[in-house]
Every structure is written in C-alpha cells, then in structure tokens.
Structure 1
C-alpha cells in the first residue's frame, strides 16, 4: 500500500514505521491514523516481521498531538465517534497486536502522540523528549485512551497531575515515572531500539504473542488474567516453538524457532 503521511522500512526482522508530517510536527490527522492502521496491520501479518518500531520524522517530534484544525467544529456526536473510531482502528489495535511494538519517542509526544506511544508495548525516549496530555487546556480531555493508559503506567496521582495541569514532563522524569523504559541520545535512539528488538527476535514469536495477550488481560475488566496466563501457558506446549526451544536447551544449542 502506498502512504502519503508515513514511511515504512523493513530490515532483518524489524519493520520501522515513521510518521512523516514534519511541517505539522507529525500531528495525527484522520488520514495518518488510517495509514498507521494499515501499516501496523501489514507488519503484524508479515511472517518475517518480528518487531515493529514506530517513530516520528526529524528531531523535534514523535507526534506533537492531534491535528486540531480537523475537529475544532465537531458536534458532540462527531467527537464521540472520533474517539471511538480512533481507539478501535489504531490505539487499541496497536496495544493488542501480537507483534511487539516499540515506540521510539524522538521529541515531543503530546496528546494523541503520547497516547500512541502509550499504546505501544513499551517506550524508549531521546533525551530531548517532552511528554504530556494538554487536552484540558483546549477544553477537552484525552480521547484516545490517555486517561486510562497513563494511569496504568504512572499511577493515579501522577496521571491526575499531568492531565489537570496540561503540563509536559521531560524524558528523565518520564523514566522516573516508569512511562519510558530507557532514555538515550537522539543519535542512539533508533540503534538502541534496534538492539532491544534484536534480542526480542531471538525468542519465540508465538510465546511472545501469548505473553502480550496475558499481560494485557491484567487491565481488562471482567477478565481473570491468571486464567488467561494458565490457558496460554498450556497452549504453548502444543507449539513447534516449544518443541524446538526445549530440545535446543537440552541439546545445549541456540534455538531456531519456526514461529509456529
């Protein structure tokens, strides 16, 4: 599929998706959200892709928010649909992908940008990154899962403060809060993400997909995460990856997982 607002690149098990709207600081409009949905979907079904990295073009912004000009005159019904549809096709979609997704936060990650980063399975930030949910300064609240995922990641008190003040935190505070896993220089951001991704690609993609499902179950209302884990654990015993992994361990060699 040809894209106007994003770039995709594949190399040795890793697909990198770059949001490419530098004049808009990579702000998310509906076209970009739709393109991201298709890019993530294509990478997820690609048997060769073991890890997805998402980042923004340039050195200023991962995603500096949503494109406000697109919805400034929306009605109540249109606003509700905007949030519901966005969560369905991108933010919840990314969170529940079976392929691991790393957010390489290379600058401003505000509003919808931070919400996209939080939907990824974990985050790595450059030392110039700034993160926040400024929506209340516009008379609205985060609508792409920000109130939920920020609370899950940093705790209720910190999430309340960030949302209510509409302020930004820097990369080191984000690291202290547990919002990001690592902080590095701009130059080393993608190399570090790729280094982590390489470690992931050495493991069973089937087991990783099952682990993602089990971890996410912890945050789903009415779902017993322990039961999801038990079921997933048992299902692993019927995979070719389990047979290869245990055989390789007993034979004291490196496993070559078939991904089945």
Structure 2
C-alpha cells in the first residue's frame, strides 16, 4: 500500500486534515503510514493557505495502536533490520518543527506510538471512556519520545506509565490537563477539534505562529531564557500590519482582515 492509502490529506478553509486510515489494523503505524505522516507535515508547512492542522484517524475504537508490530516482525524476519530504520522520521520529530498548530482529534484509545503523536500535538480532544498508555515496556521497545510529558504531567504519573506499561482512563489524563476537551462520541471529537481549528484560522496568523513558537521555546530554554526568546519571536508580530489592523478593526466594530504581514 502507498502513503496515500494509509494517510489521508485534505485542506478546507485553512484547515489541513491528516487522517490515519488503517481501521483494520487499529490505525497502527506501519512504515507507509509513518512516512505518509512525515510527508503530510512537510506538505502542510509548505502550503501558505494552511493555518492549522487536525490529526485524526479512521473510526475503529482506537485512535492509534502504536507501531505495527506485525509488520515489524515480518521485516525483521525477512530483512534482518528493525522497522524504525525504514522510516524517514520514526519519532515524528518533524511535528515539532511545524509552525502551524496541530490539534489531535483522538477518536479512540491510544497507546505507544499513538501517545507519541498526541504528545507532539499542541491541542488534544479525546473520547470519553477510552484509554491511553505508554506500553513499550510490555513489548521490549522504548519510549524516548515520552520525556516532554515531564512538562505536561506529574512525574509520578509519568513514571507509572513508562514503568508499568499499563493503560489508564483518558479521564485521568484529562484531569491533569493533558487533554483539552473530552467528548461523548467520535463525531463530537472531530466537531470540537474543528471548532478549535476555526478559531485559530480566524486569529492573526503571525500572532498564532509566535505564540506557539514561544511556548515551545520556553520548554526548551527555561523561564528566563524563554522570556527573552519569546520577545524575539514576537518582534515580527508587533511590527506587522496586522498589529495595526487588529486595534483598528476593534475600534471600528468590525471583523479584522488579516494579511499575515
């Protein structure tokens, strides 16, 4: 199967929707799916019409089951190599380089690589009654990508997840703020994600770009240096025509017309 068979990509109204389409395999991450995701991030970043991205998957009760372990075993037996060596970006680090916000519309349970994808999104909408976990220790694999969770969840909870490999109710993670919203069915999850995306599309593009970059920079640099870097990232925003248009539109009681410059 090709990338396009396993990862769907569409754009409408400034929103790029990226969907893992492998319901028969619980949306597990095959080589093709992972490379398809890598291609989707680059495609969305290069498209000036795209202002925000929604990551979702085909409905099957599971948002993403993680690595396709069956394919991993087949590749090891056939070629003698680990499946990750065939993926262009096995940890999906490219997601963090996307300047546009990424919203996870998690329409089912998520574990392992599914958690990895969720961590690297900026906003998350989940489905009540589902479960989430970092299950690598049960499979002899690893989760180096889980380290950013130290900035998102209490350390004891993270330790429980990475050491036991057990899944937990999504409600428990939502209680700590990891999930922005919980909805009752997959359609409502997508609708909430769409609502968030439309609000971002309506906002000043340079302000959105600088806001996301500033938060990520602070995670990297810490409080003091993060403030300095945030100031630098906002220089373009304050000097833009949009910075003039916003107050002007407010004074004139109309909707602003953003130019992105």
Is TM more than 0.5 here?
yes
2:152 corresponds in structure 1 to: 153
2:225 corresponds in structure 1 to: 224
Taking structure 2 as the reference length, the TM-score comes to: 0.88
Taking structure 1 as the reference length, the TM-score comes to: 0.89
* Matched-pair contact (CA < 8 Å) for 2:35–2:87: no
Matching of residue 183 in structure 1 with residue 182 in structure 2: yes
Secondary structure in structure 2 of the residue aligned to 1:218 = helix
Distance of 2:40 and 2:151 partners within structure 1: 26
Alignment of 1:1-260 (within 5 A): 3-72=4-73, 73=76, 85-87=89-91, 90=92, 92-143=93-144, 145-146=145-146, 148-186=147-185, 187-221=187-221, 224-260=225-261
1:45/1:80 CA distance change after superposition, 3 Å: closer
Distance of 1:205 and 1:215 partners within structure 2: 16
**Unmatched 5+ stretches in structure 2:** none
Q: CA deviation at 1:211?
A: 1.1
Secondary structure in structure 2 of the residue aligned to 1:86 = coil
Query: What does the per-residue CA deviation read over 1:135-189, in whole Å, with 9 as the maximum and x for residues that have no partner?
Result: 011123214x12x122221121110011111111112112112221110011311
* Matched-pair contact (CA < 8 Å) for 1:124–1:189: yes
Secondary structure in structure 2 of the residue aligned to 1:4 = helix
Secondary structure in structure 2 of the residue aligned to 1:139 = coil
Q: Over aligned residue pairs, what C-alpha RMSD do you find? A: 2.6
